[in-house]
Amino acid sequence: MKPGALLDDITARALEFRWLRTALAPASPYGDRIFERIVPFAPGEEAQAEARARRVAAIASGFSSQTLDAMRDVFRNAPDASNAIARASMGDTLSDANLLELQRFFDACVRLDTLTDENAALPRVASAAVVESARRIELGRAGKFGFYLADAFDPALERARSSLAQAQAEYDAARGRATAAIATLLGREVEPNEFIVMRADLNGALPDGVRVVREAPTYLLCEIEETDATLAALDRRDALATAAAAAEETVRRALTDAIREHAAALNAAADAFGEADVLVAAARFTQTHDCTVASIVSEPALHATGACFIPLELELEKEGRHFTPISIAIDDVAVLTGPNMGGKSVCLRTCGFIAICAAFGLPVPASNAAVALFAEISWLGVGADDEPGGLLSSFAREVVRLRDLLKRDRRPLFALLDEFARTTTPREGKALLVAVLKRLQAIGARGLSATHLAGIAPAAGVRHFAVRGLRGIPNRPGTSDLHQALESLASSMDYTIEEVTDEAAARSDAIALAALLGLDERVITDAYDVME
């Protein structure tokens, strides 16, 4: 899953694209290959994007989470047989490991089809080629999951192996007799390979048939020589081993030919298996995060009700807190104001995340949504600072990114500006931001600009949204515990976003927040005095 031109690195980082990729990752190498080829739908492909999201949603609603997890297990445990199929089609003879891979892959296809139960949203993978190929190698099934080039494949193989086993037994017997005879003569156990005879223990010469490999002052390192009888048995065994090897290779060749005959169809089955893996991963994501299919609209816009930024939602859940869903309708470029920690940046990220999901043909984390496909989604401002910028200041980096963005001119653009120009003087920052918003309007971009600067919306002639903010002054916690402070803030904050017309209503609640976070009370009092 590649962002292509939809996101640059900074935007991908700000909108947690990597998290999304990981959450959607398939479980098998087949799925990985398909997943790597996935790119966002482009403007004009609205029908395809929505159709894919509907397909994912149909899988999510058509199967229980347990069934989807069982499918994930099938994908996870399926070995990668693609290399074996490729080798067969190139004319190589398959190894027994390759044949086991194929057998397991065929088993996985059949098992998956059983689980999908002819649900039309998922492809059937056990095609006729899979069934026929599986039948050809089934004789090799050893136990439930193993593979052995069994005698049953070819009577000639059975005969060759039987003769070899007989010859091996004859050699073992001859060798065993020789070893036992020498052990008796030496009056002790001897290793059949190399063994030591202590000179002090030796009465006279070594028995016949014992060869000295190495002499040391106190002992002799010996081995048992092959006799005429054992040598003859060995020759016979080696000749029969060669014949058995040839018989085995004949069977492998025949099995390889059977696979090669269906190679194209087996590759198609492997692709379908991978596609199913990717779809099931997306469906599981949809179930887990309660996503819905957005209407993919051709007019650039993003409307969402009850939208969530899942990475943050999960983080909050870990701390026993909850995410307040966001509702917003963006039909142009708008300004978003509100208190510190009121969720302005989260709102931007939520909108960006939903736009990304829609672009990849996924159900979106919202109760209801209508989203356009954008040519580019771009994040400017807070969050871009951690990009190494050499000699450039954070302001200069923002400006350079904006310059490049306008130069690329990919339309329609979805722009998310988080406190753009916050690091310069408020007067010039405001002037610059107003001009940028006018320009974005002029090129037909859509998006949101979160800012603490006052009077931006009327000056730029754009709509103005605001987070409602604190319901009164939150209680200052008795301790300096940050977790308590955040809980108190969350319970006092109204995160509702609404369009406002009264510019004077915008406020930051910064002093109240500073108090909540434990700043010295004298400083807080002075700050309120200054405000008055």
Partner 1 sequence: MHVDVGDAILRLAQETGAPSLVVVGTGKNVGKTVAMRAIYRAAVARGIAPGLTSIGRDGEAIDVGDAQSKPRLFLRAGTALATARDVLPASPASEMLELSLLQTAAGRLAYARVRSDAHYELVGPPTASGLREAIDTLLHHAPYAIVDGAVDRIAALAGGRDAVVVACGASASPTIDEAVSDVRALVARLSIARYDGREEALRIEGALTPSRATQLIREGEKRAIVVRDPTQIALSGRGALHALERLRVRCEREIRIVAVTVASIGRDRTFEPRMFAHEVASATGVPTFDVYASERAA
Q: How far apart are CA 459 and CA 474, in angstroms?
A: 33
The C-alpha angle 262, 267, 268, rounded to 5 degrees, equals 100
CB 130 within 8 A of CB 109: yes
Helix H segments across 360-481? 394-408, 426-442, 456-460
Of residues 190, 168, 468, 248, the one with CA closest to residue 337: 468
Q: How far apart are CA 344 and CA 321, in angstroms?
A: 18
Helix H segments across 319-442? 344-359, 394-408, 426-442
Question: Which residue, 124 or 236, has its beta carbon nearer to partner 1?
Answer: 236
As measured in angstroms, the least distance from the Cβ of 234 to partner 1 is 13
Question: Which residue, 206 or 486, has its beta carbon nearer to partner 1?
Answer: 206
As measured in angstroms, the least distance from the Cβ of 244 to partner 1 is 6
Question: Which residue, 101 or 398, has its beta carbon nearer to partner 1?
Answer: 101
Question: Which residue, 99 or 457, has its beta carbon nearer to partner 1?
Answer: 99
Question: Which residue, 5 or 152, has its beta carbon nearer to partner 1?
Answer: 152
As measured in angstroms, the least distance from the Cβ of 94 to partner 1 is 11
Q: How far apart are CA 193 and CA 178, in angstroms?
A: 12
Residues 6+ apart with CB under 8 A from 30: 75, 78, 80, 82, 270, 271, 273, 274, 277
Of residues 265, 269, 258, 273, the one with CA closest to residue 88: 258
Please report, as ranges, the residues that interact with partner 1 according to CB under 8 A. 79, 95-97, 99-101, 104, 142-143, 145-149, 161, 164-165, 168, 172, 187-196, 198, 214, 216-219, 221, 241, 244-245, 248-249
As measured in angstroms, the least distance from the Cβ of 108 to partner 1 is 13
Question: Which residue, 191 or 317, has its beta carbon nearer to partner 1?
Answer: 191
The C-alpha angle 361, 365, 368, rounded to 5 degrees, equals 90
As measured in angstroms, the least distance from the Cβ of 56 to partner 1 is 28
**Longest Cα separation, the chain:** 118
As measured in angstroms, the least distance from the Cβ of 5 to partner 1 is 34
What are 198's two structure tokens?
């202590």
Question: Which residue, 196 or 510, has its beta carbon nearer to partner 1?
Answer: 196
Question: Which residue, 192 or 311, has its beta carbon nearer to partner 1?
Answer: 192
The C-alpha angle 174, 180, 181, rounded to 5 degrees, equals 90
Question: Which residue, 104 or 422, has its beta carbon nearer to partner 1?
Answer: 104
Q: How far apart are CA 469 and CA 494, in angstroms?
A: 5
Q: How far apart are CA 499 and CA 466, in angstroms?
A: 6
Question: Which residue, 84 or 330, has its beta carbon nearer to partner 1?
Answer: 84
As measured in angstroms, the least distance from the Cβ of 208 to partner 1 is 20
As measured in angstroms, the least distance from the Cβ of 331 to partner 1 is 50
172 to 151, 164, 175, 185, 234: CA distances (angstroms): 23, 12, 5, 20, 9
As measured in angstroms, the least distance from the Cβ of 139 to partner 1 is 13
As measured in angstroms, the least distance from the Cβ of 205 to partner 1 is 19
